[in-house]
Amino acid sequence: MKDKIAIVVQRYGSEINGGAELHARLLAEKLNLSYEVEIITTCAIEYESWNNYYKEGSEIINGITVRRFETEKKDLKRFHQLSRIIRNLYKYDRIKPNICNFLYLFFKKRQYQKKTFSFNEWLEVQGPYSKGLINFIKAKKDDYQAFIFFTYLYHPTNIGIAEVAAKSILIPTAHDEPQFYVKGYEKLFSSPRFIMYNTLSEKNLVERVYPEAHRINSDIAGIGFDDDDFEVTNLPNYLSPKKYFVYIGRIVEDKGCIMMIEYFKDFKKSNPEYQDIKLVLVGKSSIDENLTKDNDDIILTGFLDDNLKNTLLVNAYALIMPSFYESLSLVTLEAMMMEIPVIVNKNCEVLYDHIKKSGSGKSFDGNREFSQSLLFYLNQNNEDAIAEGKKARNYVVKNYSWDVVINKYKSAVKSLK
């Protein structure tokens, strides 16, 4: 009889094809070959409001039992208030004091430090807040050998891990963002029995900010890829092969998407000889429609299934990843596995490490370098493109094999006994 383990994650479903949620689904399906895996999650499909979309209860997805629990209504007004306080504390903490700005910084920090709130309030208004999910973990904790929690940020992880600390594995998916420094997360990073990081950069960040994490058993696993992971189909009629760059993910300001759009517009103005080159954005958009309205150079596709997403990726000049904050970036590794170059934001250490270590791709820190990166791939000869693609693929094959990843998780689960 297989040991039973639970994976606790904020959202789960075949329609959710990015970030920690996709990571959780891929990992669950691989671990299910060795364990009896169950998912403990919410009824939400999106993260802005966490509204209940799926029916509460259990269902089977790809052979795995998924247990869903309803969320409480999110207080969006209070969430935005607290987010503003957190962002400003982060901002003023990072400005180096000098003789000219010392008093200004002192009073600004004091201004926002006085706007107090409790850590539990932050977790609840940020969401997803589900009493049923936490009550299930409390009631059924003896039924599982291990609980794997995804994402440091949310209520289910922070409150759930406190109930099952002795049999918990945390996958923090942490990166250097304002929320990461909120007072209260130090308890989370001192609670689990095991921490599984995605990258060395993530491990270094967590242990620098929360030194208690040093004493917890840990490893670096990331995610795995198989040779047959990437099925493709026909390219849509509105696109031609090697006539566009592509972005895949949540289309939001925090991912650098507005910056990328503005940089691309500037590139097109400065390089009229490339008037037929497009920027294709794949995913749900939460940016101002006016940024792309009446602009034939920028195409928003909305959500696409995996086969069509892969098709757009494999026919692009390059994937652009403008995000400042990533803990791994599955789509970056997917592109590299498919021998497609990636243009990344140099200010994101995780993305930049993928580029440096693989010897492939380009990075940018500003408008000028962004344009230079586009021009490089627009003018790259076929022989160099093939050689660069092989470097990218070899990097993923060497560092992100499912056999290696799953063996690390098996060792982590075994260590809990």
> Is 90 exceeded by the pLDDT of residue 299?
yes
Identify which has the larger pLDDT, 129 or 304: 129
Residues 6+ apart with CB under 8 A from 52: 42, 43, 44, 70, 71
Identify which has the larger pLDDT, 122 or 108: 122
pLDDT score at 87: 84
Instruction: Report pLDDT digits (tens) over 130-144.
Output: 999 999 999 999 999
> Is 90 exceeded by the pLDDT of residue 338?
yes
> Is 70 exceeded by the pLDDT of residue 379?
yes
> Is 70 exceeded by the pLDDT of residue 107?
no
> Is 70 exceeded by the pLDDT of residue 90?
no
Tokens encoding 75: 């207080």
Indicate the pLDDT class of residue 361, thresholds 50, 70 and 90: very high
pLDDT score at 88: 78
CA–CA separation, 20 vs 11, rounded Å? 9
Instruction: Report pLDDT digits (tens) over 78-88.
Output: 999 999 888 87
pLDDT score at 233: 85
* Backbone angles phi and psi of 221, in degrees to 5: -120, -45
Mean pLDDT of 332-340: 95
> Is 80 exceeded by the pLDDT of residue 106?
no
pLDDT score at 181: 93
pLDDT score at 228: 65
CA–CA separation, 72 vs 1, rounded Å? 37
How far is the CA of 244 from the CAs of 12, 207, 313, 317, in angstroms?
31, 40, 10, 6
Please give the mean pLDDT across all residues of the chain.
91
Contact 147, 168 (CB under 8 A): yes
pLDDT score at 288: 84
pLDDT score at 290: 81
> Is 60 exceeded by the pLDDT of residue 102?
no
Full 3-state SS string of 254-312? HHCHHHHHHHHHHHHHHCHHHCCCEEEEEECECCCHHHCCCCCCEEEEECCCHHHHHHH
Identify which has the larger pLDDT, 404 or 290: 404
Indicate the pLDDT class of residue 293, thresholds 50, 70 and 90: confident
Stretch among 70-74, 85-89, 259-263 having the lowest mean pLDDT: 85-89
Tell me if the bond preceding 128 is cis, omega within 30° of 0.
yes
Mean pLDDT of 374-379: 97
Percent of the chain with pLDDT strictly greater than 90: 75
pLDDT score at 101: 62
Instruction: Report pLDDT digits (tens) over 2-29.
Output: 899 999 999 999 888 778 999 999 999 9
Mean pLDDT of 172-191: 94
pLDDT score at 277: 96
Instruction: Report pLDDT digits (tens) over 203-239.
Output: 999 999 999 999 999 999 999 987 666 788 889 888 9
Mean pLDDT of 319-328: 92
pLDDT score at 85: 85
CA–CA separation, 139 vs 143, rounded Å? 9
Q: Are strands 194-197 and 217-220 parallel, antiparallel or unpaired?
A: parallel
> Is 60 exceeded by the pLDDT of residue 34?
yes
Q: How many CA atoms lie within 13 A of 74 on its CB side?
A: 20
pLDDT score at 291: 83
> Is 90 exceeded by the pLDDT of residue 91?
no
Q: Are strands 362-364 and 244-248 parallel, antiparallel or unpaired?
A: unpaired
Contact 188, 160 (CB under 8 A): no
pLDDT score at 98: 67
> Is 60 exceeded by the pLDDT of residue 104?
no
